[in-house]
Structure 1
Amino acid sequence: MVSFGDPGMVLKAFFPTCCAAADSGLLVGRWVPEQSSAVVLAVVHFPFIPSQVKEFLAQVQQTSQVGVAVLGTWCHRRQEPEDNLGHFLEGLSAIFSHEPWLQLCREKGSTFWSCKATRWQGSTSPGAPSEDQVMIVFYDQRKVLLSQLHPPAILPDQETGDAAAGAVGLAAVFHTVARSEVLFRSDRFDEGPVRLSHWQSDGVEASILVELAKWASGPICLLLASLLSLVSAVSACWLFKLWPLPFIWSKLSTCEQLRYRLEQLTLIFSPQKAENPSQRMRKANMCVSVLLDVALGLTLLSWLHGKGRIEQLADALVPVADRVAEELQHLLQWLMGAPAGLKMNRALDQVLGRFFLYHIHLWISYIHLMSPFIERIVWHVGLSACLGLTVSLSILSDIIALLTFHIYCFYVYGARLYCLKICGLSSLWRLFRGKKWNVLRQRVDSCSYDLDQLFIGTLLFTILVFLLPTTALYYLVFTLLRLLVITVQGLIHLLVDLINSLPLYALGLRLCRPYRLAAGVKFRVLEQEAGRPLRLLMQINPLSYGRVVHTYRLPRYGCHPTHSWGSLCRKLFFGELIYPWRQREDKQD
């Protein structure tokens, strides 16, 4: 990395490679005094009228808000050197006064460049100009214009003055080229009195299809924005806010995914123009994410409606549900006996086993009652794939939650009963130690108990201790089943989050046009000889794929409650319920 922080040593002239073969003329660009750098943007060719050049630069400066000026002269001697041309170019410094005045010259048929930077102010002898040493840095004007420079990730102990000055100097160069886009509209200025050379000198890069798409995008966005606003108004109707509809919708992944897609489409088709490159990149990432989601959904839809797969899935759903219920019945019958040779409390074991068997019987009856409508339900679920693969996956997650609702009920019953016994045992254990829980102060205080209280506490403690193994075994089995269901739903939600939040457009730019996302630059030495100016080539370093994902990752529409391994084990040990539902207040920006 070349330092930009010491302006007193070397003057740096950033010269576009597209102007290396341009005819002689004036160097137009911006002077950065803090970094002692001159950013050349274009070359004004002969013939020209100085007053028209000044008027043209004033218009460009007013439009782009960049201090564009004539920095010096450029001489490309395609024929034998002529003294008249040299004297004429030197005389232009009196018309376009600038400090310092650059004089770049390239000899015919050779790689030799001569560079001068003349100053009249600050010279040692009055009236005699002084010259600074010049370093020429070539850069690709098109790549620098289209690229977006990201600040480097500098550790706290690496924040030195040279690194900070280098980052500021690079930012000034990229900012100057990006804000001077009006100067590169050659179709406007080539017909006028001023003729320029820059990266678009051969013609503006455009397409008739692109221009038609830009012309038609305005009315289409207005129409779609109106339709989306109508859908948002209908969804906000007071009928949909009656209890318990908001509670149910907040627990369904499908409703959350549809709400998230509605917000994305509203932002994509908003007629308001993006104010900065970050907002444009976010819109592009959302657009590509939605298109990929719909494409995957249509692929799934075509697969489901081919070769009668919907009928096959509908016919296999009821036998699978019967098979799961049968396995649960066998599991409960095993628990009602002597599981793994453990001696359980016979009365409590029979009560719990019959209670859960009755729930399974009710669930099987419900499944068989719904069996005539299963094919139509599966058909509508498959049709929802036209809204996107994520919608189908969210519906699949909700269907799994409904089909395993009896397992969730078993888990809740077992967890509540187990938690009640754990709390009772902890309270009775404090009774034996002469302690009690102070509800007002939220702490454990000393307390004296009489003989009757100690006797009843001992009796209850003994009963709970002997009933705890049976309850703990049921709680353990149903917790493992519940964790299995949560794992399957978690994998589905992980895939949905991956499609929703992955910045596909940014990754495509990094793959196809890596210079668009710049993490910095590197310099390659082109010529370094004594008595000749140092010439460097500035090349763009692209962002790494990991940093692209971290920088442009889209906000997620919800998240699971984050639990550390310690807090998760604590909740499982004390019988606290673990809810994997998505909460609206957990949204991440």
Structure 2
Amino acid sequence: MVLKIFFPKCCNTADSGLLVGRWIPGQDSAVVLAVIHYPFIPGQVKKYLTQMRSQTKVDLTVLGSWSMPKDGQEGMDSFLKDLSTIFPHSRWLQLSRESGKRAFTCRVVQENGKPAAKKDGDDNNDDDDDKDKIIFVHYDQRKVMLSQLHPVQEQKGSEEESTELRTMFQTVAQSEPLFFHDMYDEGPLKLTHWQSEGREASIIVELVKQASVPVCIVLTWLLSVWHWLCSFRIFHVWPVQFISSKLSTCVQTGYRADHFQTVFSTRKATTHMEFMRKANIFVSFLVDIALGLLLISWLYRENRISQLANTLVPAADHVAKELQELLEWLMGAPAGLKMNRALDQVLGRFFLYHIHLWISYIRLMSPFIEMILWYVGLTACLGLTFALSVLSDIVALLTFHIYCFYVYGARLYYLKIYGLSSLWRLFRGKKWNVLRQRVDSCSYDLDQLFIGTLLFTILLFLLPTTALYYLVFTLLRLVVVMFQGLIHLSVDFINSFPLFAMGLRLCRPYRVAEGVKFQVLSEEPGTPLHLRMEINPLKFSSVLQCYRTPTYSCYPKDSWVALCKKLFIGELVYPWRQKSTKTD
């Protein structure tokens, strides 16, 4: 049997006293948390441990005694050994350290007073098989206290060892109230632990904590007013609700409002994941605002708004002119293809009329574009994501005529493909059963076959002309969708990237732990084995996967095969972003 004792490095040079810690239930292991220095009164120690148990919810107990050689304390070892009769215990650890040596000597005494194990190098160890083997695991109490042990992705040990380590990490983390009392505090007890050399504190941090409560209350009230305004019935009418769900700016506004409600909630984060989620959202918001302010400072210097407005209208005219020339090319003999002249002329004139309407609309709006851009640029003060969302909506509005061309061409192409597939089943004596949603056999008379053959021939010979228009406008639409997709990916990256977690991984990698590794410190004959425990941080990919903030998905819902199938048969592909329903 192996007895593991997790011993903090900060207690290696502590004065003689009592070991305070916890026996890990179900495991042959003990976690040492602090050393109570001599002199002390046993009754006060018991009262203090009872108080700490109620605060930490940890079964703290006196594990044994710790002896550190010091002048004038020659009889300290025997005095500490006699304390085992005062404190209740199942096993009593008697640890001592000799001057000039790194290793400890350890003696384990059972409740009945008989020795259970002895590792001091003085006795004959012929019966080692009948005695416990003791292993000291030295750990950095500060790092274990502040770290969070994540589930190991790969199997690196038994499940029993993983449970033991997790319990040990939780024990140290839950014992935070114990670490508030140290060797310099006034009181009957003096303790040594990781904060014995001075507690970590910051006046700025304390002031921020004090000021955050009223600020969060005010912001929560403003958010409640925002939700109350959004609950008006006029915003739930079908046209308003439909348009707001398609505008990227409205989606981003709702997304940020939900996250602000999470971050500025006065309820304290109780779990590690909840704290990391709030921290990642808050840091992401600060970075978003900083990037937005940088964009504003660039836009409103050197009259760049006017330059942008003067460039936008000629660019829209140039795009309309290029589309007009493309339609005139399609109305002729594009690439030498033989087209149906009547249908070609009808479609060409139809689309040319839409371009004419679009040019007239741009000319009508041109005097107001600079003023619109000036006010729209101010939305960047809410963050770079808002500016990018507005840019996506502007691109959607400026290319609305291309979207209309794509819808017209896709609907016409889909109707012809659907008609040809139905008439093809007629030639084979089949029909589509709407009730059973399957293809059944069917017999047709001569009149039905004649009309079907006539319609099939007409649709088949008109298909190339329609397919060419559909192909051209689909390619144009895909170019616009790809540009908007890059904008949406940028917004999604800023919203979901865990900046706080990545900062911890870079600056304090022990805060996000994946596991531990052990190194041999001392392996002297006649003394227990001494190991040093180091924390293995999570990989960057694991940090990104674990702490990425759930957000709306700007990726296609269908696979690439399904997307290509929709494009081939003429079904409309809507690249609208849907809000994700995933939760932590």
Relative to the length of structure 2, the TM-score reads 0.95
Partner of 1:308: 303
CA distance in 2: counterparts of 1:81 and 1:53, whole angstroms: 21
Give per-residue Cα distances to partners, 1:176-212, cap 9 Å, x unaligned.
1011101000269822211101111122211111111
Q: Contact 1:120–1:129 at 8 Å: present in 2 too?
A: no
Amino acid at match of 1:146: L
The alignment status of 1:109 with 2:104, answered yes or no, reads no
Distance 1:375 1:196, change over 3 A: same
Partner of 1:73: 65
Secondary structure of the 1:35 match is coil
The alignment status of 1:41 with 2:38, answered yes or no, reads no
Counterpart mapping for 1:530-541 below 5 A: 530-541=525-536
Which residue, out of 344, 354, 367, partners 2:362?
A: 367
Amino acid at match of 2:92: W
The alignment status of 1:13 with 2:8, answered yes or no, reads no
The alignment status of 1:95 with 2:86, answered yes or no, reads yes
CA distance in 2: counterparts of 1:202 and 1:504, whole angstroms: 32
Gaps of 5+ in 1: 1-8, 122-126
Partner of 1:171: 166
Counterpart mapping for 1:251-262 below 5 A: 251-262=246-257
Distance 1:112 1:80, change over 3 A: farther
Partner of 2:77: 86
Give 1:59 deviation, angstroms.
Answer: 0.4
Amino acid at match of 2:107: K
Give 1:560 deviation, angstroms.
Answer: 4.0
Q: Contact 1:28–1:42 at 8 Å: present in 2 too?
A: yes
Partner of 1:433: 428
Partner of 2:129: none
Q: Contact 1:24–1:46 at 8 Å: present in 2 too?
A: yes
CA distance in 2: counterparts of 1:130 and 1:556, whole angstroms: 57
Q: Contact 2:3–2:28 at 8 Å: present in 1 too?
A: yes
Counterpart mapping for 1:208-223 below 5 A: 208-223=203-218
Give 1:566 deviation, angstroms.
Answer: 1.3
Amino acid at match of 1:147: S
Counterpart mapping for 1:82-481 below 5 A: 82=74, 84-121=75-112, 128-131=114-117, 132-154=132-154, 163-186=158-181, 190-481=185-476
Give per-residue Cα distances to partners, 1:4-41, cap 9 Å, x unaligned.
xxxxx111111111111111100000011422111000
Give per-residue Cα distances to partners, 1:337-379, cap 9 Å, x unaligned.
1111111111111111111011001000000000011001111
Give per-residue Cα distances to partners, 1:193-232, cap 9 Å, x unaligned.
1110111112221111111111111111111111111111
Q: Percent identity?
A: 64
Q: Contact 2:556–2:575 at 8 Å: present in 1 too?
A: yes
CA distance in 2: counterparts of 1:109 and 1:223, whole angstroms: 61
Distance 1:133 1:190, change over 3 A: farther
Relative to the length of structure 1, the TM-score reads 0.94
Amino acid at match of 1:119: Q
Which residue, out of 560, 568, 587, partners 2:581?
A: 587
Give 1:120 deviation, angstroms.
Answer: 4.3
CA distance in 1: counterparts of 2:354 and 2:581, whole angstroms: 36
The alignment status of 1:546 with 2:541, answered yes or no, reads yes
Amino acid at match of 1:134: I
CA distance in 2: counterparts of 1:196 and 1:81, whole angstroms: 18
Give 1:128 deviation, angstroms.
Answer: 3.8
Deviates more, 1:97-106 or 1:321-330: 97-106
Q: Contact 2:103–2:528 at 8 Å: present in 1 too?
A: no
Deviates more, 1:404-413 or 1:272-281: 272-281
RMSD: 1.5
Secondary structure of the 1:194 match is coil
The alignment of Structure 1 onto Structure 2 pairs a total of residues equal to 569
**Displacement over 4 Å in runs of 4+:** none
Q: Contact 2:103–2:530 at 8 Å: present in 1 too?
A: no
The alignment status of 1:22 with 2:14, answered yes or no, reads yes
Amino acid at match of 2:82: G
Q: Contact 1:557–1:588 at 8 Å: present in 2 too?
A: no
Deviates more, 1:211-220 or 1:390-399: 211-220
The alignment status of 1:496 with 2:491, answered yes or no, reads yes
Secondary structure of the 1:71 match is strand
Partner of 1:124: none
Amino acid at match of 1:53: V
Distance 1:128 1:71, change over 3 A: closer
Q: Contact 1:558–1:582 at 8 Å: present in 2 too?
A: yes
Give 1:81 deviation, angstroms.
Answer: 7.8
Deviates more, 1:519-528 or 1:229-238: 229-238
Give 1:109 deviation, angstroms.
Answer: 2.5
Q: Contact 1:221–1:269 at 8 Å: present in 2 too?
A: yes
Deviates more, 1:443-452 or 1:188-197: 188-197
Give per-residue Cα distances to partners, 1:32-78, cap 9 Å, x unaligned.
14221110000000110000000000100111110101101111113
